[in-house]
Amino acid sequence: MNQLFTNTATLARLIWRRDRVQIVLWLLSLIIFTIAVAATFPVLYPEGPEREIIAQTFTNPALISMLGPAYGIHNYHLGAIMAHQMLLFTMVVVAIMNILLTIKHTRRDEELGRIEVIRSLPVGQLATASATMLVLAITNAVLGLAVSLGLGLLGLTGMDWIGSCFFGGALSATGLFFAAAALLFAQLTETSRAALAYSFGFLGLSFLLRAVGDVGSEPLSLLSPLGLVLRAQVYVRNYFWPLGVVFLGAVFLTMLAFRLNTRRDLEAGFVPARPGRSHASPFLSGPLGLVLRLERTTILGWTVGMFILGASYGSIFTDVEDFVHSSELYQQMLPHTAGASVLDQFVAMLLSVLSMLAAVPALLVILKLRAEERAHRMEHLLARAVTRQKIMGSFLGTALVVAVVMQLAGVVGLWASASAVVDDPFALGQALQGALVYLPAIWVLVGLAALLVGAAPKGANLAWFYLGYTFFVSYFGSLLQIPAWMSKLTPWGYIPNVPLEPVRPWTAAAALVLAAALMALGLAGYRRRDIYG
């Protein structure tokens, strides 16, 4: 039995050596960000009646679906605000970090044949898996400790030491749970791509279950690890059992993954590979066919995912409506157009979030051009009778169309399920308009990625940072009262908040021209530069 784990520590040191910069960067940004946000709260939310009003707005189901349930609303101190506004978001980021690192050191290394070399040495069968979990366990522990310490030292009203420890503990438990889940998916699938897809799908599902559960039926939230952790009511009641359950869940998933790992062959999965077609379909006859064939699963998966996401949010429209009717405060604040306005606000927020998510698959497609080059597969096309314009044009065109498809899928899902639960929420035409309004912004981002791929291929992944920045400004723009110029640094800052604001054709036209210019520059650069494989 002990033989299974031989040399785990050595391999853990290798993982640390390979990723120390990445891990330290992740940790530093998470820790500094969390503490810095908490430090701004006394200014953002001064004590007094104003905070009471804010507390009331946070019982709005629309916000709850995004941020999680608002605990301690009757004594809404800074701790309660911190847990409500920040915990869920930070948990999701921690989960993403854990998924990426776990898959990278398990299935991805296995796929690249590195584990084979390692396994030929006196190393236990489970040593890679256990070394990965060891490094991530330490990483999550350090994260939890540092965040607890930092928040505790701030010493803000309501942010006591016990609550701060729970905040940090919640992050650690969540991180460990998603690392374990990713480890399990790494056993089931044969490729790292599939393992990532399953892991992120699981994270997305956890988020959605919780969103629907938090607003309507509590039991659904208990099924989601994210929902469960929020039930710890950090800074309010500090219940320990949810964290304990999630932690035990992580241990259980790890054991299960270990067990599956010992039962399978190296480089095999549990989802068996079937023989494929011996001839290509007539469709696969040029760069465009290749892009669609390669990105088929991504595009389909995302389309379904966007539809489900839209539909989930649409399904809580009825709760939003009920809330508006029952809340006296809202009636007083917005005497005339209360109902319409709160629903419209909700719709505006959803449209913005959906559009940023829709940008992800579009970026995936255009950046695939760079990934293919790095994998030395572009030379197959370039050594045959295909122009560079046609190659890049195929990736670019697909990315642009994917953006449209994603926007439609999300908004149609939203509209369909909202119409099912509420009478006449908004017209389909209005919904489609909402989808189209954001397209120029997504296309500008795609254009930027195209420019990077064409002219500065080494920096192509900067496009992800830009999208991350956009997410950050939009998600926290109003919560943290971020200065206006910061949101004007991304194309999303110029898109009108439909349906709250009217459509501005000139803004859209300007964005389209900018997108076209970026793409043209990218194409020109791609034609001229050396291709490295």
Partner 1 sequence: MAILKVNNVTKRFGQVTALAGINLEVNPGEVYGFIGPNGAGKTTTIRILLGILQATSGSVEVFGLDAWRDAVEIHRRIAYVPGDVSLWPNLTGGEVIDFFVRLRGASRKNRREELIERFDLDPTKKCGTYSKGNRQKVALVAAFAADADLYILDEPTSGLDPLMELVFQECIQELKAQGKSVFLSSHILSEVEKLCDRVSIIRQGRIIETGSLKELRHLTRTRVRVETAQSLPDLSSLPGLHDLEEFPGGASFQVDGDQLGPVLQYLSQYQIIALESAPPTLEELFMHHYKGAQ
Residue 259 in contact with partner 1, rule: CB under 8 A? no
Least distance to partner 1, CB of residue 316, Å:
37
Please give the residues from 287 up to 306 whose contact with partner 1 meets the rule CB under 8 A.
Answer: 289-290, 293-294, 297
Residue 380 in contact with partner 1, rule: CB under 8 A? yes
Q: For residues 321 and 373, which CB has a smaller minimum distance to partner 1 in the complex?
A: 373
Q: For residues 290 and 356, which CB has a smaller minimum distance to partner 1 in the complex?
A: 290
x/- contact string, 106-145, with partner 1 (CB under 8 A)? -----x----------------------------------
Least distance to partner 1, CB of residue 448, Å:
25
Q: For residues 78 and 453, which CB has a smaller minimum distance to partner 1 in the complex?
A: 453
- Binding piece for partner 1, criterion CB under 8 A, among 69-77, 142-150, 227-235, 286-294: 286-294
What's the CA gap between 255 and 94, in Å, rounded? 21
CA angle, 30 then 441 then 85, to 5°: 30
Least distance to partner 1, CB of residue 289, Å:
8
Least distance to partner 1, CB of residue 304, Å:
19
Q: For residues 1 and 273, which CB has a smaller minimum distance to partner 1 in the complex?
A: 273
DSSP string, 244-261: HHHHHHHHHHHHHHHHHH
Sign of CA dihedral 9, 14, 17, 18: negative
Residue 286 in contact with partner 1, rule: CB under 8 A? yes
Residue 280 in contact with partner 1, rule: CB under 8 A? yes
- CB distance 58 to 79 below 8 Å: no
Residue 284 in contact with partner 1, rule: CB under 8 A? yes
- 317, with CB counted inside 10 A (0-12, 13-18, 19+), is buried
Residues near partner 1 (CB under 8 A), total: 36
What's the CA gap between 73 and 268, in Å, rounded? 51
Please give the residues from 383 up to 402 whose contact with partner 1 meets the rule CB under 8 A.
Answer: 383-387
Question: Which one of 382, 427, 456, 516 is in contact with partner 1 (CB under 8 A)?
Answer: 382
What's the CA gap between 454 and 531, in Å, rounded? 10
Q: For residues 48 and 276, which CB has a smaller minimum distance to partner 1 in the complex?
A: 276
Q: For residues 263 and 384, which CB has a smaller minimum distance to partner 1 in the complex?
A: 384
Q: Which two tokens stand for residue 508?
A: 């859209």
- 510, with CB counted inside 10 A (0-12, 13-18, 19+), is middle
Angle formed by the axes of helices 388-421 and 287-314, nearest 10°: 20
Residue 456 in contact with partner 1, rule: CB under 8 A? no
Q: For residues 375 and 489, which CB has a smaller minimum distance to partner 1 in the complex?
A: 375
Residue 275 in contact with partner 1, rule: CB under 8 A? yes
What's the CA gap between 226 and 228, in Å, rounded? 5
Q: For residues 358 and 378, which CB has a smaller minimum distance to partner 1 in the complex?
A: 378
Least distance to partner 1, CB of residue 273, Å:
6
Please give the residues from 184 up to 213 whose contact with partner 1 meets the rule CB under 8 A.
Answer: 190-191, 193
Q: For residues 284 and 510, which CB has a smaller minimum distance to partner 1 in the complex?
A: 284
Least distance to partner 1, CB of residue 378, Å:
8
- 122, with CB counted inside 10 A (0-12, 13-18, 19+), is exposed
Say which DSSP state 272 is in. Answer: P
In this structure, what is the dihedral angle of CA atoms 302, 100, 490, 91, given to the nearest 10 degrees?
90
202-207's contacts with Cβ under 8 Å and 24+ in sequence apart are: 202/178, 203/92, 203/95, 203/96, 203/99, 203/178, 204/305, 204/309, 207/92
Q: For residues 424 and 530, which CB has a smaller minimum distance to partner 1 in the complex?
A: 530
Contacts for 291 with CB less than 8 Å, ≥ 6 apart? 365, 368, 394, 395, 398
Enumerate binding residues for partner 1 (CB under 8 A). 111, 190-191, 193, 273, 275-281, 284-286, 289-290, 293-294, 297, 375-387, 530-531, 533
